[in-house]
């Protein structure tokens, strides 16, 4: 697990060596153990290493035998030992025991299609000295980041935006449509970043660069949700097949030359992951964080699971002082990112890193096995619409809410609609989905901009992802959409940023592509059963270790009580984001009165604008730390 950076010049002008070295060292937190840099005429590759496998000889940039190819690689290839044996049989000679060298020899053998055989998480760049070209690739689910920029002087890439800004001669202009999308979605989607001149290589994509000029990203893999290969499978067969694939995935991810543990929230996904680790015979260290507010705390459930599985368990209470880590995380991200669970994920990673260097997590279970509540809301909305009952439902809901306000004084300040289903019921499908994943209602967001800006990016991004899966309907449609948008651009970005900021490697066995391909082919009943129970198959996977009744409780998610904290411990710093410092570019783009109205309504308890105010606070932090230029349509 590492940080990588590099460039390929178009002409004679190249970054000064001191500038390049400074940019390499901006990634030290991603790789505190070793450092490497290689520069020759017109090309430079840099590397910071977190040593996990082959501690003695796995340094980079690494070259092949004749020195024609050179690679920088961030990630882990879990099947590298098998690939290594295969390549040795074909006559390849290895100088190290690292997975990095395996990629190099596989590229010699297979060329660009080497990625088809890689099982793991990766972002890498290979320089070909004869062709004077770069080949870049990113893993199937976007677990490892890779950003790039092309300017008049050349092509530049890095694991993080902050390092890229130190190296590349890019303008520091904010991408206003991407900022709008960030406010709508919590994140900047797809290839866009908050910077106009910086792009993100999509998940499961390749990119070729010749003479400093980049082509278009080329997708090499996509999860097939349409075939339903396991439609007729029995429950028992499904459990057996899942356990076989998943336990193989877990075993591959438990190979490490450094201490290893797991995140354990007490939810289905992390519990199943730890159960598979225990099934292998390992003594597992597990880590959990908790909150004083019982609405958000899952630590008691985690202790129960840990006790049942016999793990060496550690838990840490998280308080409102976690806001202090926001500056560091914004610096690591290089752009605004408003998933509030970033902060607790960072604290959990920091806590785990006190005892281990690698941690397995349950990420991917919600997307693959139908765990999100929004899937049920979307299904209910579709059913009511098909039966022509949307209007009667809304009238009844509004009547009941009015009665509740009359008899319950604590509800009298609140406005209707309150439920997620009521909010989306009369919207078309795309807007229903956006209404459930977004943090800012479109009407409020439209009034936030003082001047015109292209607000179509969120819709276009969703439409593009839907177009890649024509004919899908029902649950699979929304799962496919989440896998290619929310999982990649929110969840994986959050996990990588939070863990690597503490020099911890996080591995996600549910997001092995063999496991994912099995999940995509399952019938809906093994995801959401007839009783409305989510992740039905995972709940049945380990009845000997984790009886299904252990999970008969409401899903809480991994979030914080930010709405309450903004009325108390966080009140002053967030108030300052709302009311102070309105000079300069942001003041010319955004309407101060619109933001102040949200703040007042939140403080008075009329609405819970916690997520929207959090997105605004993070945006202001990014503006303070990176000082982008706000121009264009503003």
pLDDT tens-digit readout, 365-397: 999 999 999 999 999 999 998 999 998 888 888
Q: What are the angstrom distances between the C-alpha of 274 and each of 107, 129, 256, 284, 309?
A: 35, 45, 16, 8, 8
- How far is 341 from 557, CA to CA, in rounded Å? 9
- The mean pLDDT of 426-431, rounded to a whole number, is 88
- How far is 618 from 183, CA to CA, in rounded Å? 10
Residue 151 has pLDDT above 50, yes or no: yes
Note whether residue 568 is domain-resident: no
Q: What are the angstrom distances between the C-alpha of 325 and each of 303, 329, 422, 460, 563?
A: 26, 6, 36, 33, 18
Residue 247 has pLDDT above 80, yes or no: yes
Residue 3's pLDDT is 92
**11 in the same domain as 132:** yes
- The domain of 284 spans 235-370+494-551
- The mean pLDDT of 427-446, rounded to a whole number, is 84
Residue 556 has pLDDT above 90, yes or no: no
Residue 606's pLDDT is 82
Residue 187 has pLDDT above 80, yes or no: yes
- The CA-CA-CA angle for residues 571, 577, 578, to 5°, reads 85
Residue 633's pLDDT is 47
**8 in the same domain as 148:** yes
**Domain count of the chain?**
2
- The CA-CA-CA angle for residues 341, 361, 358, to 5°, reads 110
**180 in the same domain as 264:** no
**262 in the same domain as 215:** no
**79 in the same domain as 107:** yes
- The mean pLDDT of 429-437, rounded to a whole number, is 89
**289 in the same domain as 160:** no
Report the number of secondary-structure helices (H) and strands (E) in the chain. Answer: 27, 18
Domain limit, last residue, from 193, 219, 245: 219
Note whether residue 159 is domain-resident: yes
- Residue 202 · residue 185 · CB < 8 Å: no
- How far is 115 from 390, CA to CA, in rounded Å? 47
Mean pLDDT, the chain, integer: 90
Note whether residue 376 is domain-resident: no
Note whether residue 35 is domain-resident: yes
Residue 409 has pLDDT above 60, yes or no: yes
Distance of alpha carbon 50 from its chain centroid, rounded? Answer: 20
Note whether residue 125 is domain-resident: yes
Q: Across 435-439, 443-447, 597-601, which has the greatest mean pLDDT?
A: 597-601
- Residue 67 · residue 109 · CB < 8 Å: no
Higher pLDDT pick, 409 / 292: 409
pLDDT in tens, 451-492: 788 888 999 999 998 888 888 888 999 999 999 999 999 999
Q: What percent of the chain has pLDDT over 90?
A: 63
Note whether residue 245 is domain-resident: yes
Stretch (H or E) spanning 396 = helix 390-407
Quick one: pLDDT band at residue 418, thresholds 50, 70, 90? confident
**175 in the same domain as 90:** yes
Least reliable range by pLDDT among 167-181, 239-253, 519-533 = 519-533
- Residues serving a catalytic function are 2
Residue 292 has pLDDT above 60, yes or no: yes
- The mean pLDDT of 133-143, rounded to a whole number, is 97
Question: Which CATH number belongs to the domain containing residue 107 in this structure?
Answer: 3.60.20.10
Percent composition of the chain: helix, strand, coil (DSSP 3-state, to 5): 45, 15, 40
- The mean pLDDT of 308-312, rounded to a whole number, is 94
Residue 330 has pLDDT above 90, yes or no: yes
Question: Which CATH number belongs to the domain containing residue 280 in this structure?
Answer: 3.40.50.620
Note whether residue 357 is domain-resident: yes
Least reliable range by pLDDT among 91-105, 109-123, 316-330, 574-588 = 316-330
**320 in the same domain as 347:** yes
Quick one: pLDDT band at residue 60, thresholds 50, 70, 90? confident
Domain limit, last residue, from 172, 193, 219: 219
Residue 588 has pLDDT above 60, yes or no: yes
pLDDT in tens, 66-76: 889 999 999 99
pLDDT in tens, 1-15: 689 999 999 987 888
- Residue whose tokens read 């349409």: 226
- The mean pLDDT of 586-602, rounded to a whole number, is 92
In terms of Cα–Cα distance, which of 579, 574, 581, 572 is closest to 594?
A: 579
Higher pLDDT pick, 335 / 605: 335
- Residue whose tokens read 């976007």: 142
**212 in the same domain as 174:** yes
Predicted TM-score (pTM) of the model is 0.93
What DSSP line would sit under 454-490, residue for residue? Answer: ---HHHHHHHHHHHTSTT--HHHHHHHHHHHTHIIII
**244 in the same domain as 209:** no
Residue 514 has pLDDT above 50, yes or no: yes
Domain limit, last residue, from 219, 245, 267: 219
CB neighbours of residue 443 within 10 Å: 7
**250 in the same domain as 109:** no
Cis peptide before 417 (omega within 30 of 0): yes
pLDDT in tens, 87-123: 999 999 988 888 999 999 999 999 999 999 999 999 9
Residue 112's pLDDT is 94
Note whether residue 52 is domain-resident: yes
- How far is 234 from 237, CA to CA, in rounded Å? 5
**267 in the same domain as 194:** no
């Amino acid at each position: 697990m590492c940080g990588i950076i590099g460039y390929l010049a178009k002409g004679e002008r190249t970054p000064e060596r001191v500038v390049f070295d400074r940019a390499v060292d901006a990634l030290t937190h991603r790789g505190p153990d070793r450092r490497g840099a290689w520069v020759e005429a017109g090309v430079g590759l840099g590397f910071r290493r977190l040593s996990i496998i082959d501690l003695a000889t796995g340094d980079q940039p690494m070259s092949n035998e004749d020195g024609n190819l050179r690679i920088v690689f961030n990630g882990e290839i879990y099947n590298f030992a098998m690939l290594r044996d295969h390549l040795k049989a074909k006559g390849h000679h290895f100088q190290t025991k690292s997975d990095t060298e395996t990629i190099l020899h596989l590229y010699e053998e297979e060329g660009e299609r080497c990625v088809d055989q890689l099982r793991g998480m990766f972002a890498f760049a290979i320089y070909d000295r004869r062709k004077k070209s770069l080949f870049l690739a990113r893993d199937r689910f976007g677990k490892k980041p890779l950003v790039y920029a092309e300017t008049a002087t050349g092509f530049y890439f890095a694991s993080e935006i902050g390092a890229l800004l130190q190296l590349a001669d890019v303008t520091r202009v904010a991408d206003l449509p991407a900022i709008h999308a960030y406010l709508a979605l919590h994140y900047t989607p797809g290839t866009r970043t908050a910077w106009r001149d910086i792009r993100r290589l999509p998940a499961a994509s390749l990119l070729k660069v010749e003479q400093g000029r980049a082509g278009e990203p080329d997708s090499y893999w996509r999860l097939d949700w349409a075939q339903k290969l396991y439609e007729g499978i029995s429950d028992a067969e499904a459990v057996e097949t899942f356990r076989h694939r998943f336990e193989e995935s877990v075993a591959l991810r438990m190979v490490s030359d450094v201490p290893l543990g797991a995140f354990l929230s007490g939810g289905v996904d992390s519990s199943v992951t730890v159960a598979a680790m225990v099934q292998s015979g390992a003594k597992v260290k597990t880590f959990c964080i908790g909150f004083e507010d019982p609405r958000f705390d899952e630590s008691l459930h985690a202790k129960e699971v840990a006790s049942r599985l016999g793990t060496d368990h550690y838990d840490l209470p998280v308080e409102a002082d976690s806001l202090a880590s926001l500056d560091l995380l914004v610096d690591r991200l290089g752009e605004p990112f408003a998933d509030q669970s970033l902060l607790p994920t960072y604290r959990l990673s920091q806590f785990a890193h006190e005892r281990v260097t690698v941690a397995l997590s349950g990420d991917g279970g919600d997307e693959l096995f139908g765990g999100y509540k929004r899937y049920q809301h979307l299904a209910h909305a579709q059913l009511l619409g098909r039966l022509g009952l949307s209007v009667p439902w809304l009238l009844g809901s509004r009547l009941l809410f009015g009665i509740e306000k009359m008899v319950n004084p604590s509800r009298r300040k609140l406005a209707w609609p309150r439920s997620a289903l009521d909010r989306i019921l009369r919207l078309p499908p795309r807007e229903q989905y956006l209404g459930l994943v977004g943090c800012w209602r479109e009407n409020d967001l439209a009034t936030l901009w003082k001047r015109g800006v292209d607000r179509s990016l969120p819709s276009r991004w969703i439409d593009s992802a839907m177009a890649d899966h024509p004919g899908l309907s029902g649950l699979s449609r929304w799962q496919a959409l989440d896998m290619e948008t929310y999982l990649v651009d929110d969840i994986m970005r959050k996990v990588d940023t939070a863990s690597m900021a503490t020099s911890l490697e996080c591995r996600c066995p549910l997001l092995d592509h063999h496991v994912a391909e099995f999940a995509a082919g399952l019938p809906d009943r093994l995801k959401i059963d007839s009783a409305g129970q989510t992740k039905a198959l995972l709940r049945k996977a380990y009845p000997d270790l984790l009886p299904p009744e252990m999970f008969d409780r409401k899903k809480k998610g991994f979030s914080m009580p930010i709405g309450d904290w903004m009325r108390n411990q966080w009140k002053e710093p967030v108030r300052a984001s709302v009311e102070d410092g309105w000079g300069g570019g942001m003041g010319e783009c955004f309407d101060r009165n619109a933001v102040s109205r949200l703040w007042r309504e939140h403080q008075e308890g009329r609405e819970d604008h916690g997520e929207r105010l959090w997105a605004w606070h993070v945006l202001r932090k990014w503006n303070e730390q990176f000082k982008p230029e706000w121009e264009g349509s503003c």
